[in-house]
Structure 1
Amino acid sequence: MSAVRLTVGAVSDVGKHRAVNQDAAFTAPWGAAVADGVGGGPSGDLASAALLHRLVAGTFIVRDAEDLAVRIREANWDLRAHTERDASLRGMATTLTGVFVTDSGGLLLAHTGDSRAYLLRRGALTRETRDDSYVQALLDRGLIAAEAAASHPRRNIITASLGGAEDDTIAVLSREPLMGDRWLLCSDGVTDYLPDAELTRVLETTPSPQAAAAGVVSLALAAGTRDNVTAVVCDVTTSVGSSARARPTFYGAAADRFCEELASA
């Protein structure tokens, strides 16, 4: 039986101005995500890496949005366990933006923070997430113009993230998967420096997801990004049989900090 799957590629680069990569990412035929450790807090690289590893441990089968929300909440509890064991980690947190295939062939988009998801469909690029950020709140209230957002001095202050607290929130939304869709998931090291027109050009003209992810990261570095840079590109395709047992591939902090085998569920 044919099933929805993702053909994926990813690149994560520490950048030219950072000593540590606090971005983490994973890719698999059943899902992909970017997580970005919150700046100004301790151990952002641990937060992003630990969240992703806990989230995708074992066989990954998601029934619906509520089921995925539970998995994310359980992964968030793992961050709290880290802070309870080590008081110096209190305050660590991470963003999360990802797409996940359900066992019925649907697609779910999960998001908190200011990492973003874009959808390229039939040549048109749309932003599918709303930043949980101070600057986005200013935009929503009409206090600044859209042109000023990218250079605002407080653009990196976020208003929602995952840090192990019971009241941490994440949006999980259903999206219709169409064959030929291309998703871009990326950290703000990309979006603070590249306009949508540049993203569209790379995504539309680069055939493979891996090459497209590399192209996005290369452009962000050339544009002078001062942050870590991570891009994940996912093409919606079909396959025969289940891919739920396919093992994920990790990037950035998730590859650097956790090399041990994931425990099977």
Structure 2
Amino acid sequence: MPLRLNTAAVSDSGAHRPTNQDAAFAASWGAAVADGVGGGPSGDLASAALIHRLVATRQAEVDADGLLVRIREANWDIRAHVERDPALQGMATTFTGVFLGAEADLLLAHTGDSRAYLLRDGDFSRQTRDDSYVQALVDRGIISPEAAAAHPRRNIITASLAGSEGDVVSVATHAPKRGDRWVLCSDGLTDYVPEADVERLVAGADDPRSAASSAVALALEAGTRDNVTVVVCDVVDDDVPAGEAVFFGSAARWFTEDVETA
């Protein structure tokens, strides 16, 4: 029986941001979170445009090269918005997503500082590397990982999608296993909640919806000053019919009348 994803997401603008610049989607074939880059114009538009284009160009089966093409096409949508309205120059978004691939594999795409974690057989591990100024300091041994969590420049990212031909995305191939639980999140969670607490909630939740809800609630309780979005994907092998992709955050406000998921 082929594998599919049982997915759920929760997105909250938080108490300190007037607009939710996070966007996400959840479907049986894939899921993703995108975080509009703070400090730039219209991060909510950038994240929503990227997410909607990816869903609208969904293919039944995709390999790593095909996924990179789809992400590049979605990135062109960001550039098109800027070309139509130069005031949007500089808008950009992070992106982290998982997609079931053509060869019974799972593809993990990533750029920026949104993250992906995998819970497998009781082991919880981060599967992405932050593209950030602070991560570069950690890699060079200048600061410790513990110091990075509280560094005043931890939100400066070194890679994102901004409609440029030079934008870089990594795609890694994983062998999915029934019972895996993937967690995708914006930094509104990980900048305020220790990974050990995220692990405890994710491992203890009965289903993806309760896992995502509990993680977002903990970030809000911790006083997150950012938008916070959590997407949880369980790898299952049941024969429940696939449903439509569901959008969250800014993607639930922008472009919903235009998207086709067939």
TM over 0.5: yes
Corresponding residue of 2:17? 18
Corresponding residue of 1:216? 215
Note if contact 1:51-1:75 (Cα within 8 Å) is conserved in structure 2. Answer: yes
Structure 1 residues 180, 241: closer, same or farther in 2, change over 3 A?
Answer: closer
How far apart are 1:236 and its partner, in Å? 0.4
Find the aligned partners of 1:58 and 1:174 in 2 and give their Cα distance.
20
TM-score by length of 1: 0.96
Task: Tell me, yes or no, if structure 1 residue 248 matches structure 2 residue 251.
Answer: no
- Residue 204 of structure 1 aligns to a residue in which SS? helix
Q: Structure 2: which 5+ runs fail to align? A: none
Amino acid in the other structure paired with 1:255: A
Corresponding residue of 1:166? 165
Find the aligned partners of 1:145 and 1:53 in 2 and give their Cα distance.
37
Structure 1 residues 152, 59: closer, same or farther in 2, change over 3 A?
Answer: closer
How far apart are 1:58 and its partner, in Å? 4.6
Corresponding residue of 1:49? 48
Identity of aligned residues (%): 63
TM-score by length of 2: 0.97
Aligned residues: 262
Task: Tell me, yes or no, if structure 1 residue 259 matches structure 2 residue 223.
Answer: no
Amino acid in the other structure paired with 1:248: A
- Residue 3 of structure 2 aligns to a residue in which SS? strand
How far apart are 1:59 and its partner, in Å? 4.4
- Residue 3 of structure 1 aligns to a residue in which SS? coil
- Residue 80 of structure 2 aligns to a residue in which SS? helix
Structure 1 residues 58, 134: closer, same or farther in 2, change over 3 A?
Answer: closer
Show structure 1 runs of 4+ deviating over 6 A. none
Note if contact 1:49-1:254 (Cα within 8 Å) is conserved in structure 2. Answer: yes
How far apart are 1:264 and its partner, in Å? 6.0
Q: 1:178-216 CA deviation, whole Å, 9 max, x = no partner? A: 010001000000000111110111111110100100000
Corresponding residue of 2:145? 146
Over aligned residue pairs, what C-alpha RMSD do you find? 1.4
How far apart are 1:61 and its partner, in Å? 2.3
Note if contact 2:192-2:219 (Cα within 8 Å) is conserved in structure 1. Answer: yes
Find the aligned partners of 2:260 and 2:184 in 1 and give their Cα distance.
26
Find the aligned partners of 2:203 and 2:238 in 1 and give their Cα distance.
23
Structure 1 residues 247, 261: closer, same or farther in 2, change over 3 A?
Answer: farther
